[in-house]
């Protein structure tokens, strides 16, 4: 949570529970990160494992060079004081994201699909009343909407 501006991030369970309490029906929820690309996890770019120009600052040597360059630039007053501290802070945040991804305790790829049946029923009720059709049962409505129902 440190370095990522996420001090009070909700858990996946809390997200699903909040949606249910708000009147939504949960259709599906899952972490898409493991199935996205097993050979290239979402946090790999933060690790500096690939030797490209973009990944050099993420490597341990690249971080040392970046911090040293920033410290020199700060002492020469080319950049505002404190930039090196921010860089170090963000690097520790990146390390924490990598650790969270490795341990499967953090994901940026949480997927959920929810539907508000109150709104759907209200819209369909108006349509059916205006056309003098008998009201349909909720189970049929769910079938027609293509919503998967866990019985």
Whole-structure pTM value: 0.63
Q: Which of 48-62, 73-87, 93-107 bottoms out in mean pLDDT, i.e. has the lowest?
A: 48-62
pLDDT at 4: 67
Residue 100 in contact with residue 106, Cβ under 8 Å?
A: yes
The pLDDT tens digits for 87-145 are 888 888 888 888 888 888 888 888 989 888 766 666 555 544 444 444 444 444 433 33
Supply angle C-alpha 39, 46, 72, rounded to 5.
Answer: 155
Q: Residue 141's beta-bridge partner residues?
A: none
pLDDT at 135: 45
Mean pLDDT for the stretch of residues 56-77: 89
Q: Is 98 exposed, middle or buried (0-12, 13-18, 19+ CB in 10 A)?
A: buried
């Amino acid at each position: 949570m440190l370095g990522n501006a996420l001090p009070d991030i909700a858990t996946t369970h809390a997200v699903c529970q909040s949606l249910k309490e708000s009147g939504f029906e949960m259709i599906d929820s899952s972490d898409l990160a493991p199935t996205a690309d097993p050979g290239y996890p979402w946090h790999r770019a933060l690790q500096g494992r690939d030797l490209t120009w973009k990944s050099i600052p993420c490597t341990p040597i690249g971080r040392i060079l970046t911090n040293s360059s920033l410290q020199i630039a700060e002492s020469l007053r080319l950049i505002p004081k404190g930039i090196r501290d921010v860089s170090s802070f963000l690097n520790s945040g990146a390390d924490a994201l990598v650790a969270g991804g490795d341990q499967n305790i953090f994901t940026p790829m949480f997927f959920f699909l929810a539907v508000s049946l109150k709104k759907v029923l209200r819209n369909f009720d108006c349509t059916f009343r205006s056309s003098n059709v008998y009201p349909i049962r909720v189970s049929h409505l769910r079938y027609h909407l293509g919503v998967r129902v866990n019985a």
